[in-house]
Structure 1
Amino acid sequence: MAGETPQSVEVVKVGFLGLSDGKREPEIVRVQLTSDSLVLQREETVYGNSLAAISSQVNNFDIDSNRERSVILRRQKSGGLGLSIKGGAEHNIPVLISRIFKDQAADQTGQLFVGDAIIKVNGVNVEHSTHDDVVQHLKNSPDDVKLTVRYYRAATPYLRAPAKRSRYSSETCNGNATVAENDTSNSEWKTPPRSPTVPLTGGRYEKRWTNILTIPLAMAALTKYQTGTDKLRPNSFEVWGGDGVTSAVLHCNDVTEVSDWCRVITTAIAAANATFIKISNDTASPLHQITHMGWMSERIGASKSFQNWKPRFVALRGEDMFIMDTPPVSQRDWVRCDRMYKLHELMCKMNRDQEVLDDRLYCLGVQLSTGESCYLSVETKEELTLWLGAIQTATHHAVRIIGRKTFGVSWQRRLSALTLDFTSGFTLYDGENKTVLWTYKFSQLKGSSDDNKSKIKLLFQSPNLRHIETQELECPSLQALLFSMHAFLSAKLAAVDPMFVRSLANMAV
């Protein structure tokens, strides 16, 4: 059946939801969630047993493409003119009739056909007009509209090809809107006049589900919030593709249905992203392995009265966290990313109920050693838990990549260098002759304190376990030192006792 999802693709869930363009009442559509895409379908009446048969018969018609025909249409209160148009001067083709709706005005004339180019509207030549210009002519016409048309056989491939950008819009010419960017070969194909010697056999009107929008799940996003705000949509949610343009707002009957659809869609998106990550990592170097990626929202603004939320694509790759406006599709996108932070030089914290800044519940703060910060949000508690675990895992991986980190410090008024080494622990070197002044394992660190400016006090268990040795340092980049110490200690502990680290992550949530 035309428009059906191929059987080779696993269908995860099917249901009927309302599709909204934000201007009209939601249209009931069939929603099919497959393993790799979200497919929206509309029930339409088509003529013929199969599109292939129709195409074959249409191509055999004996039509005089040079003959112009004039047709009078009477606009109906329901359904308008009963046709859709496509093309225009901006596409280097005339504006074409791309769809005719059964039993409506255009169909009732018996003289208009898919593939007809509109030459004139009420005597005004529009053969070289843009799509929008013709829309305005049709909208501003009286109830009786005179169309001058000419069949345009060369348009058949264009009319039957999928649109380059599949974004939901109304396609019926009803006097208020005429948009036909989504026309596909599954439209009702009202055939042009045919030669008496070529009968049209086996044809009949049938109801079929035709695809009107397909959103690939890889790097897609789902949100229950109204665009740019912290306000939840009432019983609805939005899904947009990785291009950030293709989107659909879907309406459900109740909160339970919303939760169910959001759960299965986000699970499918996560699986599609995991597949993409695996493929990318198979060809990437060990230094550029992706740990996790997906869409989050970033809060822009300092107060509840003046704030906005922006979608951000966040990726944990190698030793870095990338924050982007769009997903990376090539190696250049990684290199050109404006916001890239070293994982061992940042701290992530889940915001408790009393710490959230507005009505968004599942948020985490990212504090950078430079003093900068960003405030990120996700849709569910499970998603927040996943991100916190992924950031922790990626940080451990980053520490293993860099191996060691050295900071310029002052110890007992001597210029020195403190090195954090994943294998050996803390080592202090003399700044002049590079001799080792003291060294401790990470396991010997029993506590620390700082003045939040430049001074830090480290408490180490002595080798003989009899007393605590105190080492006081002064470091101009104190925050970077503290964050790196936390990263190295956490990575070392994870290497020794992964179960204990996982338990700490669960306790944090």
Structure 2
Amino acid sequence: MSAAKSKNRSTRTLDVVHSGMVLLSDGKGHGKPARLILTKEVLTVQTAVSDDDAKSSGVVDTTDSSVRIVTVEKGKEGLGLSIKGGMSGGQAVPVVVSKVIPGLAAAQTGQLFVGDKILEVNGTTVNGLTHEEVVRLYLWGTDKLRSNAFELRTVDGRKSGIIHCEDAKALEQWVRHIEQHIEALNKKSIKMSNKYLHPSDHITYIGWVEERMPEGYFEDPKLKYEQRFLILKGSDLCVFETPPLNSEELDRCISLHKIYETVLRTALKPKDRRIHIFSIDSSQGTSHYFSVQSVQQLQHFESAYYNSVYKAVTSVQTRTFACSFEGRPAGFVLDFKQGFSLYDIPTKKYIWQYSFDELVSSSDDGKMRMEMIFRDPEKGRDAKETKEIECDQVLSIVYTLHAFYVTLMMGIDPEFLKASPLE
């Protein structure tokens, strides 16, 4: 979520979608009163201007050398600091900085040093907190939830603010309104972008997710998740670190997959407290474990994903894979209308062909070999034929075959079409 903070901003009443009083973390543990205003395109935080605000507008309060406020913007490697201390066995041990890693965020401020005593983190006092509780205060990507509060982050993910609501009902209202308007703005952005794209490259989904990273990715082991921005564009599934702002940046994703060579899994065993999760496995052998904020966001992505699979498969229609059959070079063909066929290169002829509904089962070794068992009506009611091919793109065949079958089922399932219209 992105937010704009304002000291004195006029807002047209007709544009206001939702507004109300909240508490904004102010460096004193409980927060200060603020007015949150959501319009059609902007979320504004209004706070009263005071002398203290004017004095503390910088990164560091230089008027008091004993107590200072330091803003550390989290980088990809984390904050770049370690701490010691905290409540232990009924004994209060001061929380102090035990390590500042050169070159990282904390060191770059030039204001944090080993031995500094930490009084507050993100507006919450550390008095009476255990070491683990203090660490959770300054880590993003963990699963500790604040009661009746939500976090606003800038688009680049470097700054955030904690908004405390009056109760759970107010929290639910704010989150719902914000999510709905983010979705509405995303649809507007998609519509505008598609005006300049070929129909085969149209964008069907954009949105933020968080990806669980492998062990060792973060220097701090308590950090687990990294923000990601997903785009479904034509037959491509694109993963970005930040949203692309122009057509050139659309080509700068950190992961790119053909959507018909991926599989979406939602029936997963959670790896932590997050429950709105899904994974994207690809024929390249990679797997992305993603988390979203709500079941609505998960359902929205799932619907968009299968719509994209349908459009991609019906657009590509046919895929051919180089392989060998009985020691001869061949081309294994998957055709959306015709089914399976094998083209023998030496004779330049198709030597066998089966429809999709004639496939009984298939298996593969995940490397080179794939075996398929087909019904053969021409040889008898229960007759079966086994075909084995060798191909260095076995996983691509398996994932593409899965996408073709999913598309066939979507095209004939009235309940699915009713729930997720194929646009």
Q: Same fold (TM over 0.5)?
A: yes
The residue that corresponds to 1:455 in the other structure is 369
Does 1:252 find its partner at 2:168? no
Rounded to whole Å, the distance in 1 between the matches of 2:271 and 2:22 is 33
Partner of 1:36: 41
- Structure 1 segment 208-227 matched on structure 2, within 5 A: 227=140
5 Å-filtered alignment, 1:42-121, equals 42-43=47-48, 84=54
What corresponds to 2:241 in structure 1? 325
Q: What does the per-residue CA deviation read over 1:445-480, in whole Å, with 9 as the maximum and x for residues that have no partner?
A: 333233444332223333558234332223222211
Which amino acid counterpart does residue 11 of structure 2 have in structure 1?
T
The equivalences for 1:15-414 within 5 A come to: 15-20=20-25, 24-43=29-48, 84=54, 136=62, 138-139=63-64, 227-245=140-158, 247-302=160-215, 307-352=223-268, 355-414=269-328
Of the three residues 433, 441, 447, the one matched with 2:347 is: 433
Equivalent-residue separation in structure 2 for 1:228 and 1:366 (angstroms): 19
Post-superposition CA distance 1:219-257 (Å, at most 9, x none) = xxxxxx962212222321112343435643211233333
Q: Which runs of 5+ in 1 are unaligned?
A: 45-78, 88-130, 142-224
Higher fraction of strand: 1
Deviation at 1:383, TM superposition (A): 1.4
Whole-Å separation in 2 of the counterparts to 1:86 and 1:254: 30
DSSP-derived class of the 1:376 partner: strand
| C-alpha deviation, 1:28, in angstroms | 1.2
Whole-Å Cα distance in 2 between the matches of residues 474 and 301 of structure 1? 32
Q: CA deviation at 1:286?
A: 1.1
Instruction: Please report how far the alpha carbon of residue 500 of structure 1 lies from its aligned counterpart in structure 2 after TM superposition.
Output: 4.6
Task: Indicate how the Cα distance of structure 1 residues 309 and 278 shifts in structure 2: closer, same or farther if over 3 A, else same.
Answer: same
Is the 8 Å Cα contact of residues 226 and 232 (structure 1) preserved in structure 2?
no
Aligned to 1:6: 12
Higher relative contact order structure (alpha carbons within 8 Å, sequence separation ≥ 6): 1
Partner Cα distance (1:32, 1:229) in 2? 28
The code of the aligned residue for 1:37 comes to V
Tell whether the 8 Å contact from 1:226 to 1:233 is kept in structure 2 after alignment: no
- Determine the C-alpha separation between the residues in 1 that align with 2:21 and 2:139: 22
Letter in 2 for 1:278: K
Q: Distance in 2 between matches of 1:22 and 1:43?
A: 15
Q: 1:361 to 1:22 in 2, by over 3 A?
A: farther
For residues 26 and 258 of structure 2, the distance between their equivalents in structure 1, rounded to whole angstroms, comes to: 41
Q: What's the offset of the Cα at 1:282?
A: 2.2
Question: 1:122 matched to which residue of 2?
Answer: none
User: How many residues align structurally?
Assistant: 337
Residues in 1 aligned to 2:234 and 2:335: alpha-carbon distance in whole angstroms: 18
* Offset, 1:481: 0.9
Per-residue CA deviations over 1:102-152 (Å, capped at 9, x if unaligned) read: xxxxxxxxxxxxxxxxxxxxxxxxxxxxx779x62x4469xxxxxxxxxxx
Q: Which residue number in structure 1 is paired with residue 381 of structure 2?
A: 466
Gaps of 5+ in 2: 1-7, 67-137
In the other structure, the counterpart of 1:109 is none
Distance 1:501 1:415 in 2: 41
User: Alpha-carbon deviations, 1:75-103, whole Å to 9, x = none?
Assistant: xxxx7x6672699xxxxxxxxxxxxxxxx
Q: Does the 8 Å contact 2:279/2:287 carry over to 1?
A: yes
User: What SS is found at the alignment partner of 1:399?
Assistant: helix
Cα separation, partners in 2 of 1:38 and 1:500, compared to 1, 3 Å = closer
Q: Which amino acid aligns with 2:373?
A: L
User: What is the alpha-carbon root mean square deviation over aligned residues?
Assistant: 3.0
Report how far residue 18 of structure 1 moved.
1.0
What amino acid is the match of 1:297?
A: E
Q: 1:82 to 1:253 in 2, by over 3 A?
A: closer
